[in-house]
Amino acid sequence: MGFFSPFFICGGSMELDNLLEPTLASMGYELVEVEQLAHGKLLRIFVDKDGGVSIDDCVLISNHLSKLLAVENIDYSRLEVSSPGMDRRLKKEADFYRFREERVKLKLRVALQGRKNFEGILLEVNNGKLKLEVEGKELEIELSNLEKARLVPKF
């Protein structure tokens, strides 16, 4: 590849997200997360859709994005496209809205009631706050205080 890319100079993937999100949406997929590893040489793209993502979906997306990234002169060595998995990471407010009534694990930036880690049922999300049922009690947590949030897999 070897092309100059502003996407990696910035140190973040926000610009790359802005390129990929509408492209994937037009194909019927949701961009869940972009990881840039090995100094930006490995691009890992996590996508989802109603009903889940199959290997055929990943192949289709990989082929399409390879062409898009070449046209946009994005420097990378390897592209991986994957489903977010059963323990999908929740990042956007829309993610929390979509997965209401599901069991989630949260890690907070600043402790709440002396704790940073919670697991419970996601009840609702509104105006940048979520309500979580933990051990029969409702907690209100600011989305801005979340360090990490994931679905708890159902087996």
CATH number at residue 114: 2.30.30.100
| pLDDT band, very low/low/confident/very high, at 13 (cuts 50, 70, 90) | low
Amino acid (1-letter code) at residue 23: T
| pLDDT recorded at residue 14 | 67
Asked if residue 119 and residue 69 are part of one domain, the reply reads no
| pLDDT recorded at residue 40 | 74
Q: Which of 82, 110, 138 is the last residue of a domain?
A: 82
Asked if residue 103 and residue 78 are part of one domain, the reply reads no
Asked if residue 98 and residue 56 are part of one domain, the reply reads no
**What is the number of structural domains in the chain?**
2
Asked if residue 101 and residue 61 are part of one domain, the reply reads no
| pLDDT recorded at residue 10 | 40
Asked if residue 111 and residue 61 are part of one domain, the reply reads no
Q: Which of 44, 60, 82 is the last residue of a domain?
A: 82
pLDDT tens digits, 101-129: 999 999 999 999 999 999 999 999 999 99
Asked if residue 129 and residue 63 are part of one domain, the reply reads no
Q: Which of 82, 114, 139 is the last residue of a domain?
A: 82
Asked if residue 71 and residue 118 are part of one domain, the reply reads no
pLDDT tens digits, 62-97: 999 999 999 999 989 999 999 999 999 999 899 999
| pLDDT band, very low/low/confident/very high, at 1 (cuts 50, 70, 90) | very low
Residue 50 counted as domain residue: yes
Chain mean pLDDT for the chain: 90
Per the listing, tokens 């502003």 go with 6
One-character DSSP codes across 3-64: ---HHHHTSSSHHHHHHHHHHHHHTT-EEEEEEEETTTTEEEEEEE-TT---HHHHHHHHHH
Residue 88 counted as domain residue: no
> Which of 99, 34, 36 has the alpha carbon at shortest distance from 61?
34
Using the predicted structure, report yes or no on whether residue 152 has a pLDDT greater than 50: yes
CATH number at residue 28: 3.30.300
Beta bridge partners of 34: 45
| pLDDT recorded at residue 122 | 97
Residue numbers of the domain that contains 115: 93-151
Using the predicted structure, report yes or no on whether residue 143 has a pLDDT greater than 70: yes
